[in-house]
Amino acid sequence: MLFAVLSWAASAQSALHTLYAASVRSGGVATDSRIAGNLYTINLANGTATLVGAIRLSGSKPIGVTGLAVHPTNGTLFGITSEQSPNIPRSLVTIDPKTGAAKLVGELGVVGSDIAFDAKGTLYMWLPGTTQLGTVDPSSGAVVPFGRPGPAGSPAGIAIDPQGMIYVTPKGASGTLDNVELSSGALQVGPPLTGAPFPTQINSLSFSPSGLLLAVNSNGGSPASTRLVTINTATGAVAAIGPLPDDTDALTFTGLGRPILAPTFSGLNPGARVVVAVVSTVLVVLAAVVLLRRRK
């Protein structure tokens, strides 16, 4: 019974987190104004996508999204538009996760390939044009790069783990899984990426509530074939989960609160706490009775 209560609590907490993906476009020519990027929910077990809706500004203007991130305290879903977006390219937007409706926050002024929040609410963006990390003002879209600029690189994904470590894939799916030193902005080269279905790009990164690093692996085509994959942060090994819709370019989990690593007593509702407390007491009493009988 105790196991059942804890399993139920874990399932209930996990249900609060949803994996979302967004596409730069829904197929066809990138500059075609009739083509809109889409917002999807993703089944983590097999990568199956369910369409939420076309991502449109003011109800009618299609935009293509290349990065998604959720504010850790207020749950707002943010996105950045791609350089190829038919409307408001290189901009920060908020997106309604129920409909895909977007609102403009402000122009970024530079190209970004992915975004991620840390636990304190700082929004980071990867700048592939200069191989740099930057911070983004969530209220205006203003970008401040830091560290030394480098040569232009591949579009890369970024993600931040619960300990605040920033992961990035600056050289694509055949490169390495690197870390960013926040004090200097310098890259710390990590393990080589191996086993990706496509050797071209890692478009986006996102940690699951349980700490699993997920990514969008793309062949870079037009339209681009994409796969939902996992990446082992220690070894760089890439494993495929399943196909994603063509041109998928962004990935994030929604849901308030800290990442779910395990169910805890404090995380249960009052009724469940009572059940757990009663069952735990009964088990302790039974264990004591058994121990006393053995001693006799």
User: What's the pLDDT tens digit per position in 179-218?
Assistant: 999 888 899 999 999 999 999 999 999 999 889 999 999 9
Question: How far apart (Å, rounded) are the C-alpha atoms in residues 179 and 156?
Answer: 12
CB 233 within 8 A of CB 213: yes
The domain limits of the chain are 1-16+263-296, 18-259
Strand spans (E) along 245-295:
248-254
Residues in the chain: 296
- The predicted-structure confidence for 68-91, as pLDDT tens digits, reads as follows 999 999 999 999 999 989 999 999
Separation of alpha carbons 21 and 254, rounded Å: 11
Find residue 230's DSSP bridge partners: 214, 239
Q: Phi and psi for 179 in degrees, rounded to 5?
A: -115, 155
pLDDT digits 0-9 by tens, 32-58: 444 579 999 999 988 899 999 999 998
Please give the Cα distance from 202 to 236 (Å, whole number). 12
Q: At 186, list the tokens.
A: 């310098």
Under 8 Å between Cβ of 280 and 286: no
pTM, entire model: 0.80
CATH architecture type of domain 18-259: 6 Propeller (2.120)
Instruction: Render pLDDT for 225-254 as a digit per residue (tens, 0 to 9).
Output: 999 999 999 999 999 999 999 999 999 998
